[in-house]
Structure 1
């Protein structure tokens, strides 16, 4: 049985390994010259996902490791992207995966083969037939661009976080970022000391986790344990919510900083609870950042309401405040999709696909 794997990143590599362990004939197509996917930092590349120059992973090495290949002990708990890529390269070397990967070979189109299986058409003009297909291309390749009122009036630079590589070009600029996810905060922290001003516009706010928790331990080694999962399943969700809010508010008062999420009404509109008791901690994925509070306190970063409109050189937020802006960065996430795969194989609607265990129907 021939198996096609598309992408040699963090999910593609173990996919190839799993196929080899089952004695399958596997071929992996990778459009770049190295393994690693987005962890393979490519500052000059405009097409394809890649991390920022200063990216440090938000998950500790123990919690993100492959179960049969732990990272070296001397690697930092939270690895710089170069170390993550080094780890992935070592994984590929250890299990002899490179011989199954065709580098610099982007896939042009995937369609069903009339005799069953899949037809893989490559940009080099060749075509191959496979019995099975595994898509391991991630979801950071197609940026989502929101519809913004009067954006056409704005005369400054507009870009997506997808395009950001490093702080070069942001010196003495007024920068406004739309969104408050990990990318937005990473960029804000990166440029705060060199930009003229940095403003983060947020619609709903967010909870901020620090990488280092009580006792100096990585936060995820405390919260993501079997005991913690058991405990959260035993106590009422209202108690769990209050407990988590109390813990995170001890580190930084989100009300004082204008960061407390305000999405409880939307949550309860879809639930069977008669009265909203307050913000639901577990509804929104928290953001991980260690430096934001200090930068807000020292005036390097300002938190503002959601964007309302634009003028030629300013951004106006919902309460009427106006911020000078030379560069506007949308940090609004990504669109989930596979543009090179025929729709009869997989359909994407509203950034979702209905697949049982994410397996294509035959």
Structure 2
């Protein structure tokens, strides 16, 4: 039996290992020249996905670890992307995973033919497999908002997908659309070099932090059997009130324009350790949804106008498998995969 794995990031590598352990002949396809996927920082990468130069993981090493490969004890709880890559390389080396990987090989088409999967790669080469594992992630295809009069804007426009570091943004007025993790990471980094940084949000967010009570990683404290038991047995409204109360003690979400329409457990919170201080000093400003733009500024729904040299879309990604034929093989509606 043969199995193919498409993508060699944090999910593709263990897929190789487990397929091999199940007795399959494994072939893994990687369109770049290296493993790591999103976590392999590439300054010039235009296609695919890569982190910012300064990105630090939002999950503690204890919770993001492979079960059979603990992270080094000397690594910090929340690792810089370079340390995450060291960890990934160590995993690949320990289990000798790269021998099954075909680098610089792009899968152009994956199609069911009879009882097998037909894989067509760059150059027109075809191979056949009994099983196919799609491990190409969901940070490769940026999602762009529709903004009125955007054609009038004369400044720079980019998606968070393109952002690497603060070089070239010194002394500029920055306007960021969206308030997820990438948005806040970019805003915090640019606040030290830009003239101004403004974040526009339609629905707000609950602001969480990496370190919780006693200086412990938040996920180590919250992702326990006791915590799960409490969530299962207390009323939903009570658990939301409890968490929201503690988040309000750190920063008043109403005063700073952060309070969302949803309750805490209805959506993922946004993690950032630095934002409260920068909001208090005015280095970052939170405002409401964009109404339209002019040549050198952004006008929000409340009528306020913000000067802007740079417009950054931190509006997430579209989830898709462009190589899969037909696309209906795995239905995706509004960027949600039914099998994911």
Instruction: Report the TM-score, using the length of structure 1 for normalisation.
Output: 0.92
CA distance in 1, matches of 2:229, 2:119: 45
Alpha-carbon offset, residue 284 of structure 1 = 1.8
1:319 is aligned to 2:302: yes
2:160 alignment partner in structure 1: 161
1:148 alignment partner in structure 2: 147
Q: How does 1:78-89 map to 2 (within 5 A)?
A: 78-89=78-89
Corresponding residue SS for 1:137: coil
1:232 alignment partner in structure 2: 231
Greater Cα offset, 51-60 or 246-255 = 246-255
CA distance in 1, matches of 2:188, 2:33: 31
1:272 alignment partner in structure 2: none
Alpha-carbon offset, residue 148 of structure 1 = 1.1
CA distance in 1, matches of 2:273, 2:10: 25
1:128 is aligned to 2:111: no
Q: How does 1:185-224 map to 2 (within 5 A)?
A: 185-224=184-223
Q: How does 1:47-126 map to 2 (within 5 A)?
A: 47-113=47-113, 115-126=114-125
1:350 is aligned to 2:323: no
The Cα offsets for residues 228-287 of structure 1, whole Å up to 9 and x where unpaired, read as 011111111111111111111122221122111124xxxxxxxxxxxxxxxx22112100
Alpha-carbon offset, residue 19 of structure 1 = 0.6
CA distance in 2, matches of 1:116, 1:99: 27
The Cα offsets for residues 285-325 of structure 1, whole Å up to 9 and x where unpaired, read as 10000000111111110111110101110000010000000
1:309 is aligned to 2:292: yes
CA distance in 1, matches of 2:264, 2:211: 20
The runs of at least 4 consecutive aligned structure 1 residues that moved more than 6 Å come to none
Alpha-carbon offset, residue 138 of structure 1 = 0.3
CA distance in 1, matches of 2:170, 2:247: 33
CA distance in 2, matches of 1:247, 1:53: 32
The Cα offsets for residues 102-152 of structure 1, whole Å up to 9 and x where unpaired, read as 111111111122x32111111133111111100000000011111111111
The Cα offsets for residues 22-70 of structure 1, whole Å up to 9 and x where unpaired, read as 1111110011111110100001111110000000000000010011111
Report the RMSD for the aligned CA atoms in angstroms. Answer: 1.0
CA distance in 2, matches of 1:5, 1:124: 19
Alpha-carbon offset, residue 344 of structure 1 = 4.5
1:277 alignment partner in structure 2: none
1:286 is aligned to 2:286: no
Structure 2, unaligned runs of 5 or more: none
Contact 1:111–1:345, Cα closer than 8 Å, also in 2: no
Corresponding residue SS for 1:69: coil
Alpha-carbon offset, residue 157 of structure 1 = 1.0
1:340 is aligned to 2:323: yes
Corresponding residue SS for 2:321: coil
CA distance in 1, matches of 2:66, 2:204: 33
Instruction: Report the TM-score, using the length of structure 2 for normalisation.
Output: 0.98
CA distance in 1, matches of 2:76, 2:103: 29
Contact 1:112–1:345, Cα closer than 8 Å, also in 2: no
Corresponding residue SS for 1:84: helix
2:19 alignment partner in structure 1: 19
Give the number of equivalent residue pairs: 339
1:331 alignment partner in structure 2: 314
1:295 alignment partner in structure 2: 278
Contact 1:188–1:301, Cα closer than 8 Å, also in 2: yes
Contact 1:105–1:124, Cα closer than 8 Å, also in 2: no
